[in-house]
Structure 1
Amino acid sequence: MRQPPQDSELGRLFGQFPRAGRVQWIGLRPARDVPMRAVDMVEAATGGGLAGDRYSGGSGKRGVTLIQAEHLPVIAALSGHAEIAPATFRRNLLVSGIPLVALKGRRFRIGEVLLEGTDACDPCSRMEAALGPGGYNAMRGMGGLCARILEGGAIRVSDEVVAE
């Protein structure tokens, strides 16, 4: 959905956030088909990706992937699990407290890094194997957000996530 004009009522609603979010976990995918590596801090490169991630030199539209912490228990329940570790979803950042869907098409900051939400991060067929039969559908609509890095810098666990 395109952003409505900022001076409209809907535009004002799109710009309202109840509070800042917070980075809960950071994971890197060093190579294809290898386990994620959890880190406390990572460097984000302008126009690229995260240092140590297999997509670090990518096109930029998918420089960082984020998933909503509040969705993990729902995905777990829908796929028949008591809980699911963040690394299972192969997203870089687990974020809580701010609705990621509302950051699509917007600029936002995580610590010193400026990002722009580019697209939904839909689940892939690997989720069927990771979560079991029906895992792909259990995750639909809750796969998170892809973002472009506009200004690089460090991202740390516990950094605030703030819409601009």
Structure 2
Amino acid sequence: MIARFAQPGRLEGIWLRPERLERPVVARSAVVVDAGLEGDHGRAGKRAVTLIQAEHLPVIGAMLGQGAIDPAVLRRNLVVSGVNLSALKGRQVAVGGAVLEITGICAPCSRMEAALGAGGYSAMRGHGGWCASVVGSGEIAVGDAVLPV
């Protein structure tokens, strides 16, 4: 049962962080390489790409007394809907032409308090997304399927 999913997920958004601490830039497509997304300041390894559930954006906002949070504020690379990323921990997932391995939780940092306001750090706990390493390079685009391998 743990390997079954009701439906494929969908890549809803791509954000690149050109420099550390700079506001992320939205992209319609990107190329995934060993170090993460081309044009992103990420690095190879367990945190090469970061992902967050689209379904968690309104949850975080609700905990802050707001509407859904703008994903750019959260500084994650990929926004995914329709598939439970936490159920994919330790597994490989195909996103468009790339293959990622979900390595662990992407814990919020202290900057979330400044970005989201008082309580932002706590609102993100358990909803801050996931880190992934790159298993296979390839092109991705908004609308691509997100499928367990």
- Which residue in the other structure is 1:14 paired with? 2
Matches for 1:67-146 after TM superposition, within 5 Å: 67-146=52-131
How many residues in Structure 1 have an aligned counterpart in Structure 2? 149
- Does residue 50 of the first structure (1) align with residue 33 of the second (2)? no
Q: Which amino acid aligns with 2:24?
A: M
Q: Map 1:22-37 onto structure 2 (within 5 A).
A: 22-37=10-25
- Give me the CA root mean square deviation: 0.8
Structure-2 separation of matches of 1:109 and 1:159: 9
Shift of 1:59: 3.0
Deviations 1:59-85 (A, max 9, x none): 321111000000000100101212321
What CA distance in whole angstroms lies between the structure 2 residues aligned with 1:50 and 1:153? 10
* Higher share of residues assigned strand: 2
Q: Unpaired runs of 5+ in structure 2?
A: none
Normalised by the length of structure 1, the TM-score is: 0.88
- Residues 25-71 of structure 1 show CA distances to partners (whole Å, capped at 9, x for unaligned) of 100000112111000001001x321100011xx23211110000000
Mind listing any 5+ residue stretches in structure 1 that lack a counterpart? 1-12
Runs of 4+ in 1 over 4 A off after TM superposition: none
Question: 1:92-146: CA deviations, max 9, x gaps?
Answer: 0000000010111001100111111101111111110111111100110011111
Q: Contact 2:59–2:68 at 8 Å: present in 1 too?
A: no
